[in-house]
Chain A
Amino acid sequence: MFWPMKNTVTAGKDDVLMHYDIVIIGAGSVGLPLAYYMAEKGVSLAVIEKEVSPGRGQNRAAIGGVRATHSDPAKIAICRESIRLLSAMKDEHRIDINWKQGGYLYPVYREKDARELRALPKVQEKQDLEIGWISPERIRELVPGVNMSGLLGGTYSPGDGSASPLLTADAYFQLAKHAGADFYFSAKVRHIDIKGRYINAVHTDAGAFSAGLVINCAGARAREIGLMSGQDFPVNPDSHEAGITEPVQPLFDPMIVDIRPAENSQNYYFYQNAEGQVVFCITPSPLKPGFDCDNTSAFLPAVTRRMIDIFPRLRYLRVRRTWRGLYPMTPDGFPLIGYNSEIKNNFLAAGMCGQGFMLGPGLGKILAESLVDHSRSYDFIFTQLSPYRTFDNEEALK
């Protein structure tokens, strides 16, 4: 796998064309680590971003959970790599991103969920993931004060964790810059100029770029960028609201995921970050498709009611701030990773379905190895996550 080196390019008369080996569209959860791991390998690289600074698309809206306990080999492999990279960030680069290995906990109160969740670890155990069914008493040890009434047990994966999306984005931004990547902000892509089967130039508000390879890491806007290069990738966002409390002393370690549906909402999850703040997010029901990221009045009463119910100790904790972010969804809930079948110097890494933050670091490292060093070790990922797959297997653990 390699990209054709610099095309013969013709610049528009008003543009000075800037040449790079690689241009990444989007300085977000995926684009930033990808920029670092690729620039580190010595390629000349530019990141173009429509916002004024890094991580201002959906990275800023991520709550920070990182788990390897998915239900498919590709995401398991990518997120395992993410956990390895994020947990080593402090030792390797002396950058504190507030990594915390608190595990993920799915407490179960319904027989039906117990049956389903008890079946899942079998898939995951095959991948040597550290995950298992634990008793209500063990759950109480992990989350002192948890609502024990009707608690049947739950699955727990101690290897999973969390980090600050803000600090992680900033870390990769600094690392990528030091590794030689150039960043262009306020650089909204206006037009992609195609010549034959190649992208000739990417025209932005900050100038025009040509590259041996253009990687679409545009997150929620990946479809828009794809259409400019003639491909309609099925990435359609819906929105979730999230919030954060004041900081307090440590109350509990794991990310708690309550998978029960309720009136107007589906699952929700929360954890206490390294700063002591409880961060939470809920999936609305019905889903809210579209790009709207403005807060709505229904969110706080709904989510706080459910959180207090499962963990009454949160009752007096004060909520500080709320926000709403996008899950760039694909038809089957899995990312789209692979070359554009029509345009040879165009690659897609998008449709992270709300998991861009946890997939980003691992994916960045794997793509750098695959696209720059031609490693074939990850071909199974490209097969599974091909943008041209049939989309008939739904993700079990969204």
Chain B
Amino acid sequence: MNNTMIAGIYKDRKAGAFVNNRTYKIIDFKGLLVASGARERSLLFPGNPLPGIYGAGAFQTLVNRDGIKAADRLFIVGSGNVGLIAAYHALQAGIRVKGICDILPRPGGYKVHADKIRRMGVPLYQRHTILHAGGTEKLERVTIAGVDAGQRPLLDTAKTFEVDTLLIAVGLAPVDENYDTAASFGFPVVKTGDADEIAEASSAMFGGRIAGLNMAKRLGRNIRIDPSFHEKAEILKNPPGKTFPKQKTVLDERFRPVIHCVQEIPCNPCETVCPVHAIRLKKRRGNILDVPEYTGGCTGCMKCVAVCPGLAISLARRIGETKAEVVLPYEFIPDFTKGDRLDLMDMEGNFLEKGTVKKLRYYKPFRTSLVTLEVSLGNAPDIAGIRVQPEAETRPSKTISFEYLPEDAILCRCEMITVKQVRDFIREHHVRDMNQLKALRVGMGSCGGKNCSLLLPRIFRELNIPPEAIVENTRRPLSVEIPMHVLANEKHRDSGEG
């Protein structure tokens, strides 16, 4: 049943399904497997409800699934993998990405993704927060600022960017309410993927296998789950591990891979794609998190360059005494030809030199262009990518524009309730139960409390109310609003009163 939402799990062991926005089906079930993924967290800053500000996941749906160029000029909050990949997809769609900011000191996502984005010419502003989003009818500008050790904004460092879209990529929260309800009723229920624990897709795919077996077990099948499955699942869930220094590279006349991937992440296509096993994961941990290294014997087939999702492998060889040739992956429609000179960047996005395009080919099985460039021998081992966005495009606006009124941020978008209203109410009414905030209509809107319940813990924390003292909003069906005639299952709409 596609295009179907579960609107409620009921005590009589039935699920209410809203099908195609047209029908309401009550479904009998024995067991429930919840793999409903995650929803995006939002962020509190003044101007946050302006049109043009939304989740990076929603943006990716528009751009990747629906093929819509959803913005012209973009800024992103959050340097996790979601924010980084959203920036990449935006660039591919021809959208200018003015920058990514994050309050953390280092990018939250994989280093290969952060580096890739930097090389393309997108500045990453770490230890920065968003101060204000401005615009009359819709978003016109965002202002960010650096933060001190206590994460307080340093207003004198404020920078304003003129953008039409701001993507929020500050993390995900499991969509697990149906699991919780079913579990509280004592039904056989298993959750998996982001609904269980936020992690990468590879982990989710493997976790799904275990969840399926678990469900069968819960329903009485005689099933043994290989203990190594759980081990592997745990490994795949790992956040990025240690970062190592880059391997020293000496070039000769034969092509060899240069690996710009130095952080432990669960990824290994380079190892598996190499026909001569010239790239192997260096055994430190002895699992998929290990960092790849070149062990000799490259035939120059370029498969590793094309396959790497982090665009973190180049091929290089020496040409004569001072020159060299590098092969770089390029996942855009090339707007250059042989003889053009391109800005070439090191692993972390610093400009090294201009290189001359010698050859351009499309590697169909991997749907990636491979660009061969002539470069200086000295820089060749460090050259990791091609800038796609000129530096001038990402400069902040000359006029800094913001009003620093953090309490004006909207906490409840359904009912447009500000942070100040909520804080004052919590203080004055000594609130410890989120349900009490319903007197302000927080939690009474069409979202059913899905958004505010994720933002409220921070408000309580700022008021020095410990999390264990707080009672969460009660969840009740429906999780999506459904018209009465659908619920009533009217066979046909009569043409009478309406």
Contacts and interface: CB of A to CB of B under 8 A. Distances in A.
Interface of A: 52-54, 56, 60, 145, 147, 166-167, 170, 174, 245-246, 275, 292, 294-298, 300-301, 304-305, 307-308, 312-323
A292 B11 contact: yes
Interface of A is mostly: mixed
15 contacts: A52-B432, A52-B433, A53-B471, A170-B429, A294-B185, A297-B14, A301-B24, A308-B485, A315-B484, A315-B490, A315-B498, A319-B483, A320-B481, A321-B476, A323-B476
A322 B433 contact: no
A53 B436 contact: yes
Nearest to A317: B484
**The 5 A-B residue pairs with the shortest CB-CB distance in the complex, in nearest-first order:** A53-B433, A318-B481, A294-B11, A297-B14, A297-B10
Nearest to B443: A321
A236 B190 CA distance: 36
Nearest to B433: A53
B482 to A, nearest CB: 6
B155 interface: no
B459 interface: no
Contacts of A319: 478, 481-484, 487
A314 B432 contact: no
A60 B431 CA distance: 16
Interface string B443-462: 00010100000000000000
B16 interface: yes
B484 A314 contact: yes
A166 B484 CA distance: 25
B10 A296 contact: yes
B10 A304 contact: no
B435 A295 contact: no
A60 B476 CA distance: 13
A147 B483 contact: no
A86 to B, nearest CB: 16
Contact of B483 (A53, A312, A318): A318
A149 B330 CA distance: 71
B477 interface: yes
B485 A321 contact: no
B146 to A, nearest CB: 40
- Select the residue from A56, A166, A320 with max chain B CB neighbours within 10 A: A320
B263 to A, nearest CB: 45
Contacts of B254: none
Contact of B11 (A52, A296, A300, A305): A296
Nearest to A145: B497
Given A315-B485, A321-B448, A308 B490 contact: yes
A278 B446 CA distance: 14
Given A52-B471, A297-B14, A308-B490, A60 B481 contact: no
Contacts of B8: 295, 297, 322
Contact of B446 (A167, A313, A315, A320): A320
B1 interface: no
B429 A174 contact: yes
Given A295-B8, A300-B16, A318-B484, 19 more contacts: A54-B436, A56-B433, A56-B435, A60-B435, A166-B438, A170-B429, A294-B185, A295-B477, A296-B12, A297-B14, A301-B489, A304-B485, A305-B488, A313-B498, A316-B483, A318-B482, A319-B478, A320-B446, A321-B477
